[in-house]
Amino acid sequence: MRKNGIVGALLLVFILLACIVLGSFVGELFVDLAAGNSSLSFLGFLGRGYEFGLMPPVTLDLIALTLTFGFTLKFSIMSVVFMVIGVVIYRKL
């Protein structure tokens, strides 16, 4: 499969977004497992994450039109691990 041009870039973005979502899901699952079971408490750090962005969102009121701009990213250790896996998968294609 050719990864050149816009199709390759869109494929990479899709793979990375899917890996971020899957990694966040797995990280939250590990946090829940660690909270419910003391023998799995060491897994809790895998769901630990950092959130940054526009908090609260910026609002522009133009009387007839109100625009709200907001963007937030949350990265956890598992989402970064899954992003690396996604890049490896992309390079293998």
The stretch 13-34 carries a mean pLDDT of: 89
Evaluate if residue 1 carries a pLDDT over 80: no
Tell me the mean pLDDT in the region 50-68.
89
Confidence label for 57 from pLDDT (cuts 50, 70 and 90)? confident
Q: What average pLDDT does this structure show over 39-56?
A: 81
- pLDDT given for residue 86 in this prediction: 94
- The candidate with the shortest Cα–Cα distance to 87, out of 3, 5, 27, 29, is 3
Distance CA 77, CA 79 (A): 6
